[in-house]
Structure formats: C-alpha cells, structure tokens
Amino acid sequence: MTASTPRRSTTGALALAALGVVYGDIGTSPLYAVKETFSPSTGAVPLSPENVVGATSALFWLIMLVVSLKYVTLVLRADNRGEGGVMALLALVRDTMASRPRLQHALVVLGIFGACLFYGDSVLTPAISVMSAVEGIGVVAPGLERWVLPVSLGVLAGLFLLQRRGTAAVGRWFGPAVVVWFVMLALVGAWQVAQAPQILLALDPRQALAFMLARGPGVFLAVGALVLAVTGAEALYADMGHFGRRAIRLAWTGLVLPALALNYLGQGALLLRVPEAVANPFYRMFPEPLLAPAVAVATVATVIASQAVISGAYSLTRQAIQLGYLPRMRILHTSASEQGQIYIPAVNWLLLGAVVLTCVGFGSSSAMAAAYGIAVTLTMLITTVLTYFVVRYRWGMPGWLATIATVGFLLLDALLVAACLTKFMHGGWFPVALALVVLVLMLTWSRGRDLLLLGMRDSQPELAAFAPLLAADAGLARVPRTAVYLAAEPGIVPQAWLHNLKHNGVLHARNLVVTVRFHDAPVVAPAQRIEVVQVSAGAWQVVLHFGFMERPDVPAALEGLAGHGIAIDPFATSYFLSRETVVPAATSGMVRWRQRLFGAMSRNAGRAADFFRIPHNAVIELGTRVQV
C-alpha cells in the first residue's frame, strides 16, 4: 500500500460527508429553478422551443461560472487557516486592513452585513425547499393540494424540535441519502435527454449568450429566476473548514455537477416534448409509478438541505459571539467528539418562528421564490469585494492583476443582485429587512461593548499598582484557596475583586485575574493558549487565547498553568464573576435608543459561567452598575 492510499480514502470519506452538508442546498434547486424560470405568473421567460434551449444553456453556464469557476476554483483559495465563509473572510480582512482604519471599518460593516444575510437564507431555505418537495403530493394526487402547507409545517417543526438531540445520530446518513438524491437526478435527467437529444444544444455557450441578448430589458427578470439554481454556492466556501477544499472539489466534479447538469438538461428536454409540464417540470419527469417515491426522496433531501443551513446559523452565531458582535448565548454541545456540532436554543426557536411565518405568509414555493435569491446574491457580491482586498493586500498581488482577477466576478455578481432586486417589492425585501435588523443588533452590541470597556478602564484601578498594595497589607485575612476573577480587559482590577475585598475582607492565597481573548484566527495553537504575568506575590494576570471557531473552556485552559509553576486544585478554586447592569449615561457615544437596546441585550445575555464552561458550584457572581 502506498503512502497516498490513506489520503485518498480520507478525502473520499470527507467528500461523501460533504454531499450531505455542503451540497444539500444547491442540490435541491432543481425542484423550483426551471419551474420559476418559465412560470407564467412571473413572466420571466415565455415558453417556446428556442427559449427552452436558451434558458437551459444560460442556467448551465451560470452554474459553471458561479460555482465551478468562481467558488470551486478561486474563492476556496481565500481561506483563513483552513476556514471559509463570510465571517472567516471578514476576520482575515479586518486583520489585513488594520493600518487603514476607515477603510477597515467600512469593510467590517460590509462583511457583517454579509453574515447577517445568511440568517435570511437560514429562514428561506428550509421554507422553500421543504414546501417545494411536499408540493409533489399535489402532482401525485391533485386532491391533496390543500395538505401541502400543513404537511410542510409539520416536517419543519419536527426538524427544529429534533435539533436539541444533535445531528450525530442521523448525520452519518446524510451523505448516502444525498448520493441517492443526486443519482436519481442524473438518471431521470438522462432518460429525458435521450427522448429529446436536441436539448444538448444548450451546452453551446452561444445559445446562452443569444438567449440573454434577446431578452433586452427583460434580461433581469430572466436572470432573477435562473439565479435560483446557484443559491447554495456560498455553502461551498462556508463549510470549507469542516471538509477541506479537496473533498469539496471532488464531490462537486465527481457527482454534483454531472447530476445537476443532466437534470436541468432533462427538464429542458421534457419541456421541448411536453410544454404543459411547465407547471412542475421536475416531478413531471418521473413516470407515474415513481412519483410517490420521488416525493419521499425529495422531502428527505430538502430536510438535509435545511439542516445544513440551520447548523450554519448556529456556527455563524457562535463566531459572531466570539468576535464580539453578539452577546453571549447558551450554547449546548451535542457531541462529545465533534466540536462543531452545537445547538443554540435561542437561535433555534427564533428560526422556527420565522420559518413558520414565512410559510404561512407566502403560502407556496412560487411565492417564496420572489424573496429567495436576493440574500444569497448580495452575499456573493460581498464575498467578491472582500476577496479583492485579500488578493491585493494580503497576498500582495499587483493592483492590475487583483482587479482583473475579481472584476469579472464583480460584474456578474452585480448583474445577479440587480436581477433579484426586480423582485424586491414582491417579497425580496423580507431577507434584506431581516439582515438589517440583525446588523443593527450586531453593531449596537459591538459599539456598546467598546464604550463599556472604555468606561471600565477609566474608572477602575490598574492591576500593576493595586496587587502589590494588597500583598503588603497584613490586615487582610488569608484564605488558603485560589480565586479566579474574570476581567474583560487585562491590566485593570475586576469589579468582582473589589466587591469581594469590600464585603468579605479576605484575600485568597492565589489570585488569578483572567481575561479571555478571541482572535481572528479560527484556532489558536495549544502552545499559545496561555499568557501569564506575575504582578505580585500570590497574584497573576492570565490571558487565555482562543480562535473564533473554538469552544472556550476556562477551567480546562487553566490546567495549563501547571506548566508555568502555578498548581491549581479545581476543588479549592472559586470563580468570581461580575454581572454588569447597564444604565444609560447622560453623555455617550450612542444615541438613546441604541443605549436602551444595548442595555436590553446585556440583561438578556447568557451567563458567563455557562459560556466559559465554569462549574456552577464554583461560581460567585457579584453585581455592578455601569453607565454606557
């Protein structure tokens, strides 16, 4: 056996797993992309043989340009130590542009908005995917159409209710289940192509170009429908850290791309032969005896696609918390072996409520299609803009080369966004409004924390001067235990320590002032985890470093102090935490409504003990009022 054999096996296993997580969203696009392109209600593209070939060609080449060329070939190279996605790219840009603060701030806001748009996608993807699959029961038995909405809501409610149990038990079946889905897409598509081989003309890019030019001003309506075929492209980049670029590329070229191409060609071939199938070309491709199994497989595939974006919303929220853009939330780890498998109750129930309202409000997948796409295309555009600054300033490419490398994709993304904006008043406003709400929350929390830390730094004594005075004061009783005081900023005395001295009049034998730092890197090496400085006899300043993808476990990290000559008995250690009550200040760096919003977010923030995995029976929490 050669040395490369195990690597091939590992890459193959990762590619199989990636099918269920990375490609669930884009893999279910055939359920609605062609239907919406030729839908009489939208008037995007009139149904005719020439338009069927042209639209199919445009759809195929859009996938090749956006997914194969932009994401699979180029964007996957812009990783943050192996991690991808808008938040990881934002961290990379924030570090790269540190010397240009104004530009850095603008790019940070842009990147945060791109991350916020993902929440809109996390609401719309489950809603449109599951409903479009369940709508197949109306094709199997037209009398059952009235059950589409209740069944869809039941499937979605069950999916969200199961989140607390984690995806480990069913996750191992995601890859094989999606393999069945893509094989089904390929086989039924090939069967239809064999009956109308003239659809293969769509592989000629000149057909796509002629089709687009013939649309005139109507090209935006056409592209606004075709873009539904690439709405899962951003997931390739976002999930790179879980599977690696090699596995993602292997899965795309080996199965996903051929299956999608055959299925879209097959739907075009069907419309050439049976134009009346335009009402639901995906399900009309199947022979009648296979319709019910096709609905079942499609429903499973859409549930998996929904799971991918729900899990992505959890991961994005954790990254935003650790980068300082959202308050602490209760995070449950649903797997003892997989760090990335987390569950955030607050996010779960907010998403479920939003998904239910979306399904009831829009009523059908066709109505939701108007809202779907704008969030994804805006995220694509933001990714391209941020990637330019990475290529130009982090990689050091000449300006002209960086411009050439990104301007084509920038123009394509701008066309896709402009096309989706034509649907803004027909539902496209919904994901944008949702993203703007989340953006205000993130920026308010980030600004409020900055002001809070600035006020604490100005009002609290410096640790370097304070600790030696305590060590020399013989009037304080000594407790033979270890006290750990969490401090938001190193170098200042935590309020909890001041309160402990004031009310209890005791000093512990060992006093650790611990600050937790989260970095723009996804992971911090274990050797760089702990930074220790002794400030006086029995007192140390400790800084714990974590990456934005890591789980912060303070007690476990403090075990590393043994290597610095500080032995800590966990059964003789108390953790003193400050619980700040934020009150609006007369003068502040924020307007009054943002002060109140920040105060409300602070009051509802999760407990620090839970977030840092501190045992509850070792925690002493002391309150303090701070003005912002």
Same domain for 325 and 281: yes
Cα–Cα distance for residue pair 587/591, rounded to 1 Å: 9
What would the pLDDT profile of 74-111 be if each residue is shown by its tens digit? Answer: 888 877 777 777 877 888 888 888 889 899 999 999 99
Q: Which of 501, 503, 452 is nearest to 605 (CA)?
A: 452
Same domain for 566 and 432: no
What would the pLDDT profile of 458-475 be if each residue is shown by its tens digit? Answer: 777 888 888 777 766 556
Q: Identify the three-state secondary structure at position 544.
A: strand
pLDDT of residue 294: 92
Tally of domains within the chain: 2
Cα–Cα distance for residue pair 185/30, rounded to 1 Å: 9
Residue 501 lies in a domain: yes
Backbone angles phi, psi at 68, to 5 degrees: -65, -45
Residue 228 lies in a domain: yes
Task: Return the H-helix or E-strand segment holding 516.
Answer: strand 506-519
Residue 15 lies in a domain: yes
447, 472, 496: which is the final residue of a domain?
Answer: 447
Cα–Cα distance for residue pair 137/151, rounded to 1 Å: 10
Q: By the 8 A CB rule, do 275 and 63 touch?
A: no
Same domain for 466 and 439: no
Same domain for 358 and 403: yes
Please tell me which residue, 120 or 261, carries the higher pLDDT value: 261
Cα–Cα distance for residue pair 134/454, rounded to 1 Å: 54
Same domain for 293 and 154: yes
**Domain containing 428 — which CATH number?**
1.20.1740.10
Same domain for 492 and 385: no
The pLDDT confidence band at residue 528, using thresholds 50, 70 and 90, is very high
Tokens of 470: 């305590």
Please tell me which residue, 162 or 557, carries the higher pLDDT value: 557
pLDDT of 180 higher than 50: yes
Residue 593 lies in a domain: yes
Residue 532 lies in a domain: yes
Same domain for 198 and 97: yes
What would the pLDDT profile of 56-70 be if each residue is shown by its tens digit? Answer: 999 999 999 999 999
pLDDT of 339 higher than 60: no
Q: Which of 66, 69, 71, 62 is nearest to 34 (CA)?
A: 62
pLDDT of residue 336: 52
Cα–Cα distance for residue pair 42/38, rounded to 1 Å: 8
| DSSP single-letter state for residue 170 | H
Q: What radius of gyration do the chain's Cα atoms show?
A: 27
Q: Which of 227, 202, 230, 224 is nearest to 70 (CA)?
A: 230
Same domain for 286 and 152: yes
| DSSP single-letter state for residue 275 | G
417, 447, 477: which is the final residue of a domain?
Answer: 447
Cα–Cα distance for residue pair 539/51, rounded to 1 Å: 76
pLDDT of residue 42: 66
Q: What separation in angstroms does the CA of 592 have from each of 91, 500, 601, 624?
A: 30, 33, 14, 21
pLDDT of residue 327: 92
pLDDT of 628 higher than 80: no
Average pLDDT, the chain: 85
Cα–Cα distance for residue pair 328/608, rounded to 1 Å: 7
Q: By the 8 A CB rule, do 591 and 549 touch?
A: no
Please tell me which residue, 587 or 349, carries the higher pLDDT value: 349
Same domain for 397 and 298: yes
Q: What separation in angstroms does the CA of 191 have from each of 264, 301, 464?
A: 12, 21, 77
pLDDT above 90: percentage of residues in the chain = 34
Same domain for 133 and 89: yes
**Residue 518 pairs with which residues in a beta bridge?**
546
Q: Identify the three-state secondary structure at position 525.
A: coil
Residue 238 lies in a domain: yes
Backbone angles phi, psi at 55, to 5 degrees: -65, -40
What would the pLDDT profile of 427-447 be if each residue is shown by its tens digit? Answer: 888 889 999 999 999 999 999
Mean of the pLDDT values across residues 345-355?
92
pLDDT of 387 higher than 60: yes
What would the pLDDT profile of 531-550 be if each residue is shown by its tens digit? Answer: 999 998 889 999 999 988 78
What contacts 69, CB < 8 A, 6 or more positions away? none
**Residue 511 pairs with which residues in a beta bridge?**
483, 539
Task: Return the H-helix or E-strand segment holding 582.
Answer: strand 573-583
What would the pLDDT profile of 478-521 be if each residue is shown by its tens digit? Answer: 889 999 999 888 888 888 888 888 888 888 989 999 999 988 77
Q: By the 8 A CB rule, do 380 and 234 touch?
A: yes
pLDDT above 70: percentage of residues in the chain = 93
Site of tokens 């040395």: 3
pLDDT of 383 higher than 70: yes
pLDDT of residue 58: 95
pLDDT of residue 3: 38
pLDDT of residue 453: 80
The pTM is what?
0.80
Same domain for 349 and 247: yes
Cα–Cα distance for residue pair 308/82, rounded to 1 Å: 19
Residue 5 lies in a domain: no
Q: Which of 293, 309, 25 is nearest to 167 (CA)?
A: 309
The pLDDT confidence band at residue 1, using thresholds 50, 70 and 90, is very low
> Which residue range(s) make up the domain with 65?
10-447
The pLDDT confidence band at residue 4, using thresholds 50, 70 and 90, is very low
What would the pLDDT profile of 24-59 be if each residue is shown by its tens digit? Answer: 888 889 998 999 899 876 667 889 999 999 999 999
Site of tokens 């004031």: 502
pLDDT of 2 higher than 60: no
Residue-wise over 282-302: b if at least 16 C-beta within 10 A, else e? bbbbbeeeebeebbebbbbbb
pLDDT of residue 335: 58
Q: Identify the three-state secondary structure at position 546.
A: strand
The pLDDT confidence band at residue 168, using thresholds 50, 70 and 90, is low
Mean of the pLDDT values across residues 311-338?
80
Mean of the pLDDT values across residues 240-259?
87
pLDDT of residue 471: 66
Q: Report the alpha-carbon angle 555-345-159, nearest 5.
A: 130
Q: How many CB atoms lie within 10 A of CB 404?
A: 11
Same domain for 171 and 25: yes
Amino acid residing at 45: V
The pLDDT confidence band at residue 166, using thresholds 50, 70 and 90, is low
pLDDT of residue 225: 86
Q: Report the alpha-carbon angle 111-113-118, nearest 5.
A: 100
Residue 527 lies in a domain: yes
| DSSP single-letter state for residue 523 | -
